[in-house]
Structure 1
Amino acid sequence: MTYSTILKQAILIIVVLAVAIYSANAQEHPLSKHDSALVVSYTQAYELELQNNVNFKEASRYLNEIAFIYWEHNQYEKAIEYYKESVELNEKIENENGIAMIHNNLGMLHADIMDYEKSYEYFMLTLAARRSKNEKIGMISAMINLSVVLNNLKRYDESIDFLQQSLKLAREMGDVHQMKSCYGMLSETYEKAGNVDQSIYYFNLYKTFTQMIQNEQINQVMEDYSEEKLIKQRLEIENNENRQKLVEKQAELNLIETKKNQFEQELNSYDSITRSLYADLGQKELQLELLTKQSQIEQLKAQQQINQQKAEKEEEKRKLHYALIFTLIVLIILFFLVRSKRRTKKWAISTAEKNKVIERQGNELKDLNANLQVLVEQRTKKLKLANEKLSEFIFSNSHIIRRPVANIKGIVNLLNQNGVDEKNAQLIEMLDASNNELDEALTLFNESLTLSESTLDETNHDTDS
């Protein structure tokens, strides 16, 4: 298998995996029947807990289960919605541990949708909760998450500060695995910040810890984990490995030298035999000896060719190793490119949908304004008609109704002038009093109608304006 063939196969693998990754992450996954049934079941259990027992903690657990199902299917917005509702329930019972856990999940969800500012806020809330209870493992986890978010925001100094705090806590706890993670993150962050020397420095520490953990040298690491000594120990390990390789190579060279000496001795013996054959053997025997010698030489050449083929195979293996490393690097880069493309596409779709909603609302507002104008015109017509009828009624009251009242007043005056007996005088007096009351009532009624008419005129004027 040639190097070009290996490279072609590596490129083919990259293309296939890229298609698979893109297909898996390009869009949200619909819920399966099983997951849909679980969502319905958890929703019913959640409602039952609130109705019967009012058990906020258990109700929150069901909401978390639903959110996690949507999270697994890349339906991030729904997952965030359920987690937020769960936070509200935990706040009612002051469940700080539950709130910190959900804040951590919300931070990771917002990081998945590339909303790093919101993710930073939730991780900071998580860190504050862990610090209040002095939970060192939780503090380390929250600070590492914060460093990842800050790296995406290109706030490398803040990220390094959190990682240094995490490293200090890991040293206090003697947690080798957490220390190794911190060294790896520090190396990556310094590389992104452009500080190559510091990146290499922390990468060597990360590599040393990895080798020691693999070699089960945990106790030795715990006894002395100062960075300078770790680097020195790593160099000693590499020197020992190189010395061992050098010894092996020297042994191979010695073996080759021994074989060479044996071969020279055999050739010398063949030469002595040849000289004796010149003296003792005939021409045919000499030719036979030469043929034997040529056969041995051919065998040595064949052995040399085999050794050369072995060396070529070793070279092919080395090239294959490099090709695989190259493939892995390309796959990682491709994964992040595809993920970024998916986020961008999702953001574009969301923006387009929002624009459609805004456009639809604008059209509805135009229709509402048009309908409002029609309603105003109809109301104006009704008010004008009512005003006309009111004017007619006022006119009728002023002229038609008041005329009999005036007539009664005149008749009473005439009767008083002509003189009447005492009994009729009382009746006329009562009639005059009733007529006066009716006149006052009509006067008040006219005043109220006049006031109402002026109000209607002002309303019509405002409506026309």
Structure 2
Amino acid sequence: MCQNITWVVKVSIIPFLRWKAITFIFLLSFVSVLGFAQSKIDSLKERVKSDDFEVKSNALMELFISYRLTDLDSALYFAERSQALSYGIGDSLMIVRTEIAIGYVYQEKGFYQLAIDHFQNALRIARRNEFKDREKFVLNNLGLTYYYYGKYDEALQYHFQSLSLREEEKNQLEIAISCNNIGLVYYQIKDYNKAIEYFKRSLEIKKSLKDESKIEGTLINLGLCFSDLNNYDEAVNNFTRVLKLCERNGCEDRIKVDALNGAALAYYSLDNAEQAEVYLREAIEIATGVGLQSHVVNNTHYLARIKKEEGNIDEALELLHASQTLAEEIDSRVWVNKNYKLYGEIYALLNDFEKAYGYQMKYDSLSGLILNEEVIQNLANIQINYQEKENLETISLQKSEISRRTTLLILSIIIIFLAVVILVILYRNNQHRRNVNRKLYEANETIEKQNLELTNMNTVLEERVRERTQELNASNAALLKSNTELDNFIYKTSHDIRGPLATLQGVCNVALIDIEDEKSIDYFNKLSKTAERLNEILSKLLVINQINNSLISEEPIDFDAMVTDIISEQQNAKTLKAISVEKEIECNLHFRGDQDLLRIILTNLISNAFKFYNTSGRIDSFINIKIFSNDRLHVLVVDNGIGIDENVSYKIFEIFSKASDMSDTAGLGLYLVKLAVEKLGGEITLSKAPGGFTQFEVILPYH
């Protein structure tokens, strides 16, 4: 609950003058610092003019460092000049430094593939020259870049390699950095407990170093984990702590942007959209100012989502377009994919289901590329490889000498064998060369003859294909005409027969009133029931016609009311025993579909469960109805009735097929269900639930 508190402060003139003096001193100090920084930059630019390679290259790299946090374009310019100078001289160490610097700029600007290319160049040179200190630094940057790029298995691999080198050196601060980065990868693949484990390890190391300025990033990452575990209060505490540290000690723009973004999402989850929007806009402003394009993308995405939830669709689309344009520019697959999902949700609200479906398909396709089964397996293998590394190294040392001697022996045998084989091959080749040349001549003549025959055969086959195509088209037209005539016949016949049936039922009812002979009454009762069953069959035949020819409507479905109504209808029918009915319908289930088709599906499944109950007095009959959703709608109807014989289960969805000899129906119910499900683009299955009970499951897509 937010409260507005007004503070009343009494101010005297003396404190006011003191404050003005303090402000003047601060401004004077600030101007002095700026002047000193500018003076240093001017001095470095003068050193760049030197003819000495070392002086010039170091000056260029110091200029890169001076600009990297404030002006990425200028930083890139000086890094590339230093790179050209380094390659010209052939200084391997300086080449590695410049490749890392250029990769850093491209990473910050969001051009991840370019960053990866430069870091890979730096890694190859560092390993070739055994620059261990640079190698671990490059590995860390590669891990971060693959992380931003959405390739989490490769990110984890490089971070574990970097961690191994840092553990060998026992550099606690660098170990903490690697643990933090590994936690980020686990966070992205939604293994939040593993992520928290690494983040806490990183935080404990940093606290032991008693340097408060180094914990902001880890606090942000812990806050993100708590948010995804729905512990939003703890998340807000972490993000607020970071923002306070930034105010007190100062921090990098990236840190502040991440903290604002995390706090915004946490407040949004706590239903404080107003505060969330304030933080998001502040984060976008800072990220735009310093060129943190990937941060602009994700903050704009979340602002668009807030506007969508508020019902401001036009502004939401405008923000989303801006986020998507920038995400595609920097090739950020993760945010391109998240934007696809939001596009689908917005166009669904606008009832533009074609666009909504298109974006949902794009989202599903790209999601499979970003985090498929192969990537997940790679992540698991990388973790296992890291944990077993020390054991493998020990075993490797023990086997090294044996392997070396065995290899020498095997190589000797292979060389002797190959020499013999070569001699045999040369001898046989000389013997068969003439035979091969003769056979090749004969083969060429045969091939020419066969080519001529194939040409003639192709001509004949093309004519046959043309004839078969014409026959197939004619058959399809005839089949379409037959289906249309059959639909019309069913519809017309059903209507024509229902009139006489109604008359027959009326006569039976009058006869039952007037006749007192018990035998005659029994006959008329049977005749009335037969007419009633025939009328039911005709009704279901009309429903088949209705399903085949109806247009699917899109309207909100109240499953709870619909199921309650159907159960009430079935319970009013006469049964020999009480049947317990339990329904589990997901709360706040939002599904739009065709009301009539869904009622046909539920009515027939539930009525079958009532009809075919177990008549045994020792068994309490029950029916369980479950309706829930994940990416699709699931409808389950489970009962402990008489069951369905496995020998006929494969054909129960066919027309006029009966699941039991006890059935007094025409075998149309489950056929109607299958028709309606297929009309809605879904699928239906029959299976055994736990306990051996009969279970029907219907799965329908969202539109």
TM-score above 0.5: no
**TM-score normalised by structure 2 residue count:** 0.27
Structure with bigger helix share is 1
Structure exhibiting the larger radius of gyration computed from Cα positions: 1
| More contact order relative to length (CA 8 Å, sep ≥ 6) | 1
**TM-score normalised by structure 1 residue count:** 0.40
Structure with bigger strand share is 2
